[in-house]
Structure 1
Amino acid sequence: MNVQDYFENNETMDIAKDMLGHTFTYNSDQGKFSGIIVETEAYLGPIDMAAHSYDGRHTPSNDPLYQAGGTIYIYSIHSWLDMDISVQKAGTPNGILIRGLQPLDGIEMMEQNRHQTGFNISNGPAKWIRSFGILDKELSGTMLNSDNFIFSDKKVQTPKNILATPRIGVPNKEPWTSKKMRFIVEGNPYVSKMYKRDMNLDTYGWL
């Protein structure tokens, strides 16, 4: 896969949906961590009141959003770290937040890093980052598939149904608060804030 092509030559919302079912891998000093992407959120740059680049805001910290599609952007929220992938060509600072991962590789180490077991190790954007042992922003600005982070060429699972919902933690930003820009694999228990009654524990929401 040409990562730049994938992240630059489609609509941001379509990319956010298509990422569901691909694997995301981190080759770290602790070993290999990977999971299947089950939840994403799209951010539409300068026009999006919830985006870090709203109104053209450009700082050393959010500069990765302004780089080529497929650039990693790691940032802190209330002392926790989150990760976006920049999308669109350099200079158009759109991003997609990876919110939830269904673990594949390194599960025991993930549990140690998080001091948790079960769905709670990676059912949220800061949770999976902590479980992967990422504790700083050192790798912000690196490119997918050229360094420590690998995005799979193809889906390893196909969602049975994708739900679009409003994003989480975007208050007081209407009309952007209500826009359905969060995409989840319906029923997957590693989706953040998923009620037990909505979990599909038979198929995890895959075909």
Structure 2
Amino acid sequence: MNKDKQFQPLQKQFYNQPTINLAKSLLGNILVNETAEGVTSGIIVETEAYLGAIDRAAHSFGNRRTKRTEIMYHQAGLVYTYQMHTHCLINVVGGEINQPEAILIRAIEPYTGTDLMLARRPVAKLQNLTSGPGKLTKAMGITMSDYGRAFFEPPLYIAEGMQVKQIKEGPRIGIPNSGEARDYPYRFWMEDNPFVSR
């Protein structure tokens, strides 16, 4: 990929596909955040799908419609941020309206603006900079104030990247109390990428 090219947000229609497919399709595309400090971007290398009302691991399981999950009931392609301990995590809303599904962006590979990412989140090894959902948001300056934005328009958006040929899949991480849902193979990642969370 040419780092000097102008980023082009993926069209709104890109998000109108089944959530599992969308979770795979996001891999290889570029998460971009334009802030007053500068622009940072990273190639999405790991995602996790959450299938809403029928998925015990999803925040919206059983159609729990709360202030936190409200955005999940809207159109696909919107930003769902939530707080986990001290970290802000970022998700892509999937599914149809009133079908509250989402995809967690779990890890990215730094692409542009790496110096700014390191200023926000100093690490000794570059591999540790964005290899987790809380790490990448801090490095990219993504906060709870981004809740409800659209991924198909600036300042926080997903741009066209590269096609991924080898996608691995397995159980999601960090959901031990979700019954049978903890074993669903809804985590997807780019094979052999050093920035995958584990």
The equivalent residue for 1:182 is 187
Distance apart, 1:158 and its partner CA = 3.0
The equivalent residue for 1:169 is 174
Deviations, residues 104-124 of structure 1 (Å, cap 9, x unaligned) = 111011011111141111000
**8 Å CA contact 1:4, 1:68 repeated in 2:** no
- 3-state SS in 2 of match to 1:69: coil
> 1:113 and 2:149 equivalent?
no
Gaps of at least 5 residues in structure 2 are: 1-8
Deviations, residues 42-74 of structure 1 (Å, cap 9, x unaligned) = 000000000010100111122111111111011
- 3-state SS in 2 of match to 1:183: strand
- 3-state SS in 1 of match to 2:21: helix
**8 Å CA contact 2:33, 2:141 repeated in 1:** no
Q: Distance in 2 between matches of 1:147 and 1:40?
A: 21
Work out which of the residue numbers 53, 70, 94 in structure 1 matches 2:101: 94
**8 Å CA contact 1:3, 1:69 repeated in 2:** no
The equivalent residue for 1:40 is 47
- 3-state SS in 1 of match to 2:173: coil
Q: TM-score, normalised on structure 2? A: 0.91
The higher-RCO structure (CA 8 Å, 6+ apart) is: 2
Work out which of the residue numbers 74, 85, 90 in structure 2 matches 1:78: 85
Q: Distance in 2 between matches of 1:160 and 1:4?
A: 23
> 1:137 and 2:144 equivalent?
yes
Identity of aligned residues (%): 33
Structure 1 vs Structure 2 CA RMSD: 1.4
Q: Distance in 2 between matches of 1:149 and 1:165?
A: 28
